[in-house]
Each structure stands twice: as structure tokens, then as C-alpha cells.
Amino acid sequence: MATSQLKRFDADESPGSVLERFRRFSFTGAPTVVEEREGVPFLFNEFWTARQRQAHRIHEISYRACFKPQLPAFFIEALTEPGDAVHDPFMGRGTTPIQAALMGRRPVGADINPLSVLLTRPRLSPPLLAAIERRLTEIDWQDGERPDLDLAVFYHPETLIELTALRRWLLERQAADAIDPVDDWIRMIALNRLTGHSSGFFSVYTLPPNQAVSIEAQRKINRARGQTPPRRSVPAIILKKSRTLLGDPVPYARAPSELMAAPAEATPAIADGSIRLVVTSPPFLDVVQYDADNWLRCWFAGIEPAGVPIAMHRDPEAWTGFVRGVMRELVRVLAPGGHIAFEVGEVRGGKIELERLVLAAAAGLTLVPVCVLINAQSFTKTANCWGVSNNRKGTNTNRIVLLQKR
């Protein structure tokens, strides 16, 4: 990747020398703009590309508000050695742990949402395509049922039979403690293909696959578009998506990892001082409705969404307090000299810059602010479809607060 141009830092380098290395690096060769704000250097440049197709295919699992793999790759390349532990306490779809494994580091991750482990773990132990194909022939696809929810607004009746048959198969295997890596993989693919806006998904046309609209909202979409759910083959779509994800060679058969469904501020399973680098992005201030986005995935996986207390703070002071609790835990698990790359963004039309709140949350802890990197990027198609325009509102850039443990 392009980040290999950036020489890896020594573990005991000072924040000043780390800052100087970043200041001199640019993905495009353009000079870095440096501004001093309240004693903290802010660096503006394109430090890595935003182009998804330059990343490994195994990352191509949709999840709301996730960053591109190039972001953790940049910091992993610069700040760690092979074999080092890289952690993300807000794991989401698992971008940081997966990228860590791809680069020969030890992946560690936590997320209070149990869906996160279901989306990440299978890609750290990917089965052979032949094993996936064989398992799909073992499932009785006619063993489905009419669910309590009115899911006919999303799915053709025959597709819904196949989908509920798969759900039954997986939940029964889970209850019998018989889920193996192949089942784990199939469940991950199904969770990712539940709804979307093309024929590669089980559903009729709806919003992009990183969120699920309500049943009533889908009725309105169907009426507005004059559409009815088309017949989709659940096993065929699962196999096709599996071929895509496994299209690039994976450099590991089973990556040694630590993944847990746990709050970011309480991860006792992670040993003191065992982490060399944290790359993460927390729930932003009152922007994303994670529980609403994931209600259909939770149904399929047998998870009660109301039982997942995902942080949602509207008050900047409360959000800062939440981040401070997370920072205390990260200080505990970080090795001396280790780094935290904390990605945030602008909210409320740019009136609140969350990096300033992160710096306030870290004040008084054994963390030294190295810099804030502002990586310039164009908006994604998803952002544009929500009416977000660059430099006007929303998350305009990747904004990363880089901290080092004393």
C-alpha cells in the first residue's frame, strides 16, 4: 500500500519526532499545511487514499459510519511492528482488526453491539469456498416459516421462506453450540445481504445496505417506486458474495485474535499494557441511530436490540465524559509509548469539532497529544444521497486525534 513510503517509527520515539515524520509525509506529494491550535499541531493533507478498491476485498462488508481500511493501515504501518497487538474498542464491522491481521499484527477488538463480533470473527478464520458451497447444499431451504414481523414489504414470499429457513438453521445450531467457521461465515454474509439497492441483496430496492429502514418506511418506498419484492435466491447470493470477499488471497488461515462484545470503557479480558496501537472511531454526537439501523440484522441473529445499550449522547459535555471513561481504559491496556488514533468528525454543520472534545477528555491522563491529522477526502455516494455536500455539513474529513502514552 502507499503507506509503505512512510518509514515505521521506533517504539520509543518522542511525540516531536513522530510529528515531524507525519509533517513530511503526503500520499500525493503535496506539502502538508500545519496550524497550531491551542498548543496542538493540526496537519492538513491527503495522508492516505479514500479509494475503496485499493483495499483488500475481505473488507467489503457494509456498516453504518465505518471508516475506510486505508485509515488503520496508515497508522498500523507507521506505528507498529509485525506481531504487535492492534485494538479497536468500537469495532463496528471490524475494519481495524481485519486490517491488522492482513498486515501481520494481532487483532484485538470490542464493541457493545454483539453484531460486531458476528461481522468480524468469520473474516479472521475464512473457510474455503468449497466448504461454503457444500454447507449451502445441506440446509433445507424450504424449512422456513412466516415470521411475526411483516417482512413481505422487503422479500418475495419464496425468498422469505429461504431466509427464515436459514435463520432457523443458524439459531438451532447456535443453541446446540454447534456453530462452526462455515456457519459463522454464512451468517455474516446473510447479515450483510438482508437489504440493499441492487440484485445482490435478498430484498427489493431499499436504502444502501449499511442501514435498514422501518417496515412502514419500506411500504412508502414501495408505493413511491411502484415496486414489489422480486424473487431472490438466498443461497446463490451468499455464494456470490463469498466469492467476492475471498477474491483476494488472505495471508492467514486463522488469525490469533481477541474479540469481545463489551463496552469500550470496560474490557477486563485485555491485559494491562498489551496493546501497541489503538485505531478507533466512537459513536459521534447524536448523529447515527445504531439500534434503528440494525433492527433487521438483530432479528435475523436472534438479538434483542433494546438490550444493546449503545452510547447516544446529545450533550457535548456528556459525550466528553463518555470519551474520558474510554480513554482511561485505553491507558490501562496500552503499552508505554503506544499510540491512540482516535477518528472523529464535525457534527451539527461543523459547529462542533469533536477533536477538541477528545483532547479535553484526554487532559490529565498519561497521554501526550501528538497532533490532529486532517485527511482530506471526497464524500461517498451514501453521504451524497443524504444531501450532504463537501465543506457544507456532515463529516467533511477524517479528523484523527493522535495521542501517545507516556
Where are the extended beta strands (E) located within 235-391?
A: 258-261, 275-280, 334-344, 346-347, 352-353, 367-376
Question: Residue 62: is its pLDDT beyond 90?
Answer: no
Q: Model confidence over 121-165: pLDDT tens digits? A: 999 999 999 999 999 999 999 999 888 789 999 999 999 999 999
Residues 147 and 103 in one domain: no
Residues 337 and 395 in one domain: yes
Any domain includes 188: yes
Residues 385 and 313 in one domain: yes
Any domain includes 122: no
DSSP codes, 164-231: HHHHHHHHHHHHTT---HHHHHHHHHHHHHSSBSSTTSSSSB-S-TT----HHHHHHHHHHHT--PPP
Question: Residue 113: is its pLDDT beyond 70?
Answer: yes
**What's the confidence (pLDDT) of residue 389?**
40
Residues 64 and 137 in one domain: no
Any domain includes 198: yes
Structure confidence at residue 291 as a pLDDT band (50, 70, 90): low
Q: What is the number of domains present in the chain?
A: 2
CB 353 within 8 A of CB 291: no
Q: Model confidence over 292-323: pLDDT tens digits? A: 778 899 999 999 877 776 766 778 899 999 99
Residues 274 and 371 in one domain: yes
Any domain includes 81: yes
Residues 394 and 343 in one domain: yes
Any domain includes 116: no
Residue 402 CA: distances (Å) to CA of 114, 115, 143, 234: 28, 28, 52, 43
Mean pLDDT over 386-400 rounds to: 51
CATH of the domain at 361: 3.40.50.150
Residues 270 and 376 in one domain: yes
**What's the confidence (pLDDT) of residue 395?**
38
Residues 53 and 98 in one domain: yes
Q: How many residues are given for the chain?
A: 406
Residue 332 belongs to domain spanning: 2-111+258-296+308-405
Residues 232 and 271 in one domain: no
